Amino acid sequence: MCELCLQHGEGKKWYEVMRNYSQELYSQNNREKYAQEFIANSQTSMLPMIEKMAEMKKHKPALYRPYRSIGTRYMKRNHIGQVVPLEDALQVLERAQSITRIPCVCRSAIKGVKNARYCFALGMDPFKVFGGFPELKGSLEVLTLEQAKALVAQFDQEGLVHSIWTFKTPFIGALCNCDQDCMAYKSTVSLEVMEVMYKAEYLAHIDPAECVGCRNCMKYCQFGAIEYSSLDQKCCVNLEKCYGCGLCRSGCKKDAVSIEAKALF
């Protein structure tokens, strides 16, 4: 089990614990104010900070290492994420007390796309948290559970990775549907400057008896975890790189791909 499960899971996956979605928890420790400040910072300072750390890692590694340690500890306390496969993402929505579709702050900061509505705020009053941001306020959409589930299933088919996020850990306040423009992806995976997005509680498995070597699953993997053997003409999963998102299943027409709990590997 991951660090979050050990600390906040009560013997289960941490995102299966109802308290981590509760209004009682949300009302503590100025979480609403923190969410507002996070949105403001994500628009202006977060991407430059990631890029600065990448430069520091490259040119001043001795200075970078303590910055990484301090930054990682801060993010674990305040805003940490974990990848979840589709079935767990749908269960997360079932536990949330409210669901609001909002524009993605990462795509806004990195690509300048202001209305890419791929993210969901969970258990928050959207107009209190986002009402002070004109670029967000006009795009807020309160969803029913069934509407949210349908969108997440659609995003899964589009190859977007589902991840849950805390606003002052362990309160789960967001479900995001990410591509490689995600700032957490850049920080954790592509630039490897700070670990802010944990792997899922699962790993992918490709049944060699069913795999026909079409390599379509490779197109869906954002983590470079699927490899192709020219000798065997089959695909296989690099377990060290796999994040357990399960998107590779969407690309397989032969149902050769599955995900299994890490404990089974």
164/81 same-domain check: yes
Give CA–CA dist 155/236, Å, rounded: 24
Residues in the chain: 265
11/97 same-domain check: yes
Strand-pairing partners, residue 152, are none
- Domain of residue 82 covers 3-198
176/258 same-domain check: no
What pLDDT is attached to residue 27? 96
96/127 same-domain check: yes
Burial 132-168 (b: 16+ CB within 10 A, else e): ebeebeeebeebeeeebbebbeebbeebbbbbbbbbb
Give CA–CA dist 198/144, Å, rounded: 28
114/239 same-domain check: no
- Given 157, 174, 198, the domain boundary residue is 198
Contact predicate 162/156, CB 8 Å: yes
Mean pLDDT by 10 residues, the chain (265 residues): 88 96 97 93 87 95 94 95 98 98 89 88 91 83 97 96 98 96 94 95 97 96 97 97 97 95 86
What pLDDT is attached to residue 1? 62
CB neighbours of 252 closer than 8 A, spacing ≥ 6?
216, 217
189/250 same-domain check: no
194/227 same-domain check: no
What pLDDT is attached to residue 173? 98
What pLDDT is attached to residue 44? 82
Q: Considering its fold, how many domains does the chain have in total?
A: 2
- Given 174, 198, 222, the domain boundary residue is 198
223/127 same-domain check: no
56/88 same-domain check: yes
- Given 165, 198, 231, the domain boundary residue is 198
185/230 same-domain check: no
Give CA–CA dist 86/98, Å, rounded: 19
Place of tokens 């954002």: 222
254/172 same-domain check: no
Give CA–CA dist 60/202, Å, rounded: 35
What pLDDT is attached to residue 131? 84
**Amino acid making up residue 150:** A
| DSSP notation for the chain | --HHHHHHSTTS-GGG-GGGG-HHHHTSTTHHHHHHHHHHHHHHTHHHHHHHHHHHHHH-HHHHHHHHHHHHHHHHHH--EEE--HHHHHHHHHH-S-EEEE--HHHHHHH--TT---EEEESS-HHHHHTT-HHHHTT-EE--HHHHHHHHHHHHHTTPEEEEEESSTT-EEEEEEE-TT-HHHIIIIIS-S---EEPPSEEEEE-TTT-----HHHHH-TTS-EEEETTTTEEEE-TTT-----THHHH-TT--EEEEEGGG-
For the domain that residue 209 is a member of, what is the CATH number? Answer: 3.30.70.20
What pLDDT is attached to residue 132? 85
112/193 same-domain check: yes
